[in-house]
Structure 1
Amino acid sequence: MFKSLEEAKKFIEEEDIKMVDFMMIDLNGRWRHLTIPADRFDEDTLRNGIGFDGSNYGFAPVEKSDMVFVPDLSTAYIDPFMEIPTLAMIGDVYVISVPENYRFDQDPRNVAKHAEEYLKNTGIADEMIIGPEFEFHVFDHISYSTEPHQSGFKIDAGQADWNKNDEEDNLGYKMPHKGGYHMAPPQDVLYDFRSRVTMLMENQGIKVKYHHHEVGGPGQLEIEVEFGSVTEMADKTMMTKYLIKNQAIAEGRTATFMPKPLYDEAGNGMHIHMQLFKDGKPLFYDENGYSQLSDTAMYFMGGILKHIKALCAFTNPSTNSFKRLVPGYEAPVTIGFATANRSSVIRIPAYAKDPDKKRFEVRNPDGTCNPYYAYAAILMAGIDGIKNKMDPVEAGFGPYDFNLYTLSDQDKVKIKSLPKTLDEALDELEKDNEFLTESGVFPERLIELWLENKRADTKKHTQMPTPMEFDMYYDL
């Protein structure tokens, strides 16, 4: 939004801004923030930053946790949800040092920027542009408990099929079970909500391609956005989630990007479309290639497919992620590529025919990821594929231009599968991470911290009895 402090100060005065809010991303990909009165925002804020405890963000051990964040003026926006006029901006993390502070290598934005710099330095391309698809649920009620003596959750959505027999406040027109795809009003009661969110996104510079109701009957929605560079789209991913969640709360609802909040309904993915450009020219198009893809595109795919199991530790970093990656719900389970095949982990859209639109999408990621790490990791895998000319056909990854869900058991064993649990994905990352640490893009300490953090999640999850286990085993 701004190129200089003078521009920002002028805007603050003209718009009568009272507060300046600094938004930070922690290790797991959650927003943190700190606010100062607008008249305290000055040159020192940009030069020396604002101190904070990095250990509470998951970044560093307590004995070395004092850090500063420096706001990025280009990310500034007016927060539409604050009662007091507030200008917000994203901050970058720096390590306190003499004579000058320096960028903290584990900072999510630093990792994404470093990956983009590495791409340029290889000479392969000037930039990767990506376009995420945001799938999420909007519910009318959520409650849950994980206490030692009781656990469970309760979700409700007025439009859900399970409310068709409700004797109060029921006008019919419920969304069919697994039948919500592109449904229209009156079943689609969240149409105006999506339009309001779309306008908020547009106001923040996030260009929306379209929005619609998704397959999941009880409030599953999708908003797809136009393409942007890696760090830019990571910023916009965080902003999109912020706008959706806060608009839902403002309307007395609740939004979640959990991959699988409901049993036996479609889950929430975050499919990522991608392209490479150099000197303004697309690198993924070749009219004579498979599905009009160039060798560069095929090698890029080959790198992703080779490292996809390790990538899952960053693109699907929750225990809940792997409850989505199961057959029968339009989510990928096998490692391969194909054209217009939604059962493949990499899908090449058949409708993208023009050279500057030729692309493919990776379908396994979901919204629980830290987008900076996830997008950077995908880019690093693709670069590794190009550098080593990893042909996905020679490696046996396809093309799988048939329904992978309906294969016989005999044929299924011939095709490699995505990890079935977060623990399995973490094991793969532990074995396969050299492609991430090239040029120091992913610091080794960050990978160690990530593994420690996520293993703690899996331990907690596996040790907790679930209601389903009581249903299955209590009487044995």
Structure 2
Amino acid sequence: MKVDIKDRDFKWIDLKFSDLVGNFHHLTLPAKNYEEIKKNGVGFDSSSCPGFKSVEGGDMVLIIDEDSAFIDPFFEEPTISYFCYIKEADTKGEYLRDPRTVSFKAQEYMRKEGIADNVLFGPEFEFYIFDRVIVNNSENISEYKIESYEGKFGFDDTYINESGEFLMKKSGYHSIPPKDKFTDIRGKISNVIIDYGIDLIYHHHEVGSAQNEIEIKRYPLLKTGDNIQIIKYFIKNVCYKNDLSATFMPKPLYNMPGNGMHFHQHLFKNGKNLFFGNGYGGLSQIGEYYVAGLLKHGKSLLAFTNPSTNSYKRLVKGFEAPVKLFYSLANRSAAIRIPKYAISENEKRIEFRPPDGTCNPYLATAAMLMAGLDGIKNKISLKDNNFGPFDQDLEKMDKNVVEKIDSCPTNLLEALEELKKDHDYLLQGGVFSEDLIKGYIEYKEKEALEMAKRPHPYEFELYF
């Protein structure tokens, strides 16, 4: 909902921003200082934020985006909140590692190239809601425990769902109450999203016990990044206030469905959908080039769209998660699906299925756009690169055919190596910088190596 600081007697101004890897941060100031904040910005120590500057040069400044103003519903006192750009403290010039700036520049690059004047992204939010979660990670303890009344699993054998209404494994898709115990919580979350001003398509129970989904309509690039950050914030806070815990982890439970964040997307020019045509699945030639760009750069792209070690525990066979880089009509084992129901000119689009909710949404969507634009500019061929279409489920296809299709990376370090080799498409128009990519890779490599050094409980079962 559009709001102006003059509309109400606000007590506080809350400034929100994202670091390089997508963590959401905030800083709260008295509302009476608005004019000074608007003029000069607010300084902060970026060295304490993942992926930003070092201690000796960490001073940066937050500059508010006035068009992003909204009333934060989780503050007790009247608080107006803004998304912010991160700028250099001394010059107020652009900071090349600011995710929001990257998103803005990607959109401008698309327009300057004359390819399209708008791109719309529609994310699907998949998440688990648990009753209790305990995490213990130290030198001599490595454990997590998850409790779900709906899923009939707890910390020990004494935890019992005595209602008789619970969900069996992988049986939750579109289930109804009383088996779906989160209808009201999803309703509360959805009301907050709608009140904020985002158009919501639907909410429903997902396949896994305690797993949920909310899908919103498609929005421009920068707005999509803001939408994702704020919706995750809303989901976490509504659950917290109801003594529940929400997670977007791609694979929080072994042998249970993972959480993805599929991205529907299409390009427009002069109000016309550039993806609508008479090719396979109703795609235009431009749409096919865009798809080929995503798949051609798919391995390096996953460093941004699937940036956690946990991401690759989801991208395995048997869970409707893509493991091969190909496209298809309606095939949910494909990396890119053309929705069969989206047949009208305005609705024709593609869905990129590998991403998950651990991504930095500004960088992930900007990277997807840059890959697609590269496909259009260089007229990358789907056929010549063996990208399909393949309409069968991978499990039912000839093994010799499947082996010839490019695979998704199987772990984070592999994806980061692919990014090192293939990132020129991201540098076009100065959208991404070598500095950002280098800093991102260094941070994520350290994260992956820290994970690799730690003994795992399953290793004790195997080797103790």
TM-score bracket for the superposition, by shorter chain length: over 0.9
Q: What amino acid does structure 1 have at the position aligned with 2:183?
A: Y
Match of 2:379 in 1: 389
Deviations 1:27-70 (A, max 9, x none): 1111111111111211x211210001112123122222111101
Verify the 8 A CA contact 2:171 2:208 in the aligned structure 1.
yes
Flag the 1:251–1:193 CA change in 2: closer, same or farther, 3 A.
same
Query: Using the alignment, how far apart are the partners of 1:352 and 1:316 within structure 2?
Result: 26
Verify the 8 A CA contact 1:161 1:177 in the aligned structure 2.
no
Match of 2:352 in 1: 362
Residue 268 of structure 1 and its aligned partner are, at CA, apart by 0.2
Residue 458 of structure 1 and its aligned partner are, at CA, apart by 0.8
Query: Using the alignment, how far apart are the partners of 2:382 and 2:132 within structure 1?
Result: 45
RMSD of equivalent CA atoms: 1.5
Deviations 1:205-234 (A, max 9, x none): 1111000000011x1000000010010011
Match of 1:184 in 2: 176
Query: Using the alignment, how far apart are the partners of 1:352 and 1:393 within structure 2?
Result: 23
Among 50, 60, 63, the residue aligned to 2:53: 60
Verify the 8 A CA contact 1:343 1:405 in the aligned structure 2.
no
Alignment of 1:197-208 (within 5 A): 197-208=189-200
Residue 169 of structure 1 and its aligned partner are, at CA, apart by 5.7
Residue 72 of structure 1 and its aligned partner are, at CA, apart by 1.0
Q: What amino acid does structure 1 have at the position aligned with 2:6?
A: K
Alignment of 1:384-463 (within 5 A): 384-463=374-453
Match of 1:311 in 2: 301
Verify the 8 A CA contact 2:153 2:159 in the aligned structure 1.
no
Residue 168 of structure 1 and its aligned partner are, at CA, apart by 5.2
Match of 2:17 in 1: 24
Flag the 1:212–1:120 CA change in 2: closer, same or farther, 3 A.
same
SS in 2 for 1:154: strand
Residue 167 of structure 1 and its aligned partner are, at CA, apart by 7.0
Match of 2:38 in 1: 46
Query: Using the alignment, how far apart are the partners of 1:399 and 1:408 within structure 2?
Result: 14
Query: Using the alignment, how far apart are the partners of 1:36 and 1:449 within structure 2?
Result: 30
Match of 1:337 in 2: 327
Gaps (5+ residues) in structure 2?
A: none
Q: What amino acid does structure 1 have at the position aligned with 2:191?
A: M
Alignment of 1:184-333 (within 5 A): 184-217=176-209, 219-286=210-277, 288-333=278-323
Query: Using the alignment, how far apart are the partners of 2:6 and 2:400 within structure 1?
Result: 68
Segment drifting more, 311-320 vs 70-79: 70-79
Residue 8 of structure 1 and its aligned partner are, at CA, apart by 3.2
Deviations 1:355-411 (A, max 9, x none): 111011000000000000000000000000000001212211100100013335433
Match of 1:10 in 2: 6
Deviations 1:393-434 (A, max 9, x none): 221110010001333543332221100000000000000000
Q: Does 1:77 align with 2:70?
A: yes
Residue 166 of structure 1 and its aligned partner are, at CA, apart by 5.8
Could you tell me the TM-score, scaled by structure 2's length?
A: 0.97
Verify the 8 A CA contact 1:133 1:272 in the aligned structure 2.
yes
Report how many residues are paired.
Answer: 462
Verify the 8 A CA contact 2:152 2:161 in the aligned structure 1.
no
Alignment of 1:84-123 (within 5 A): 84-98=77-91, 101-123=92-114
Gaps (5+ residues) in structure 1?
A: none
Query: Using the alignment, how far apart are the partners of 1:393 and 1:190 within structure 2?
Result: 44
Verify the 8 A CA contact 2:281 2:329 in the aligned structure 1.
yes
Report percent identity of matched pairs: 44
Query: Using the alignment, how far apart are the partners of 2:41 and 2:447 within structure 1?
Result: 32
SS in 2 for 1:10: coil
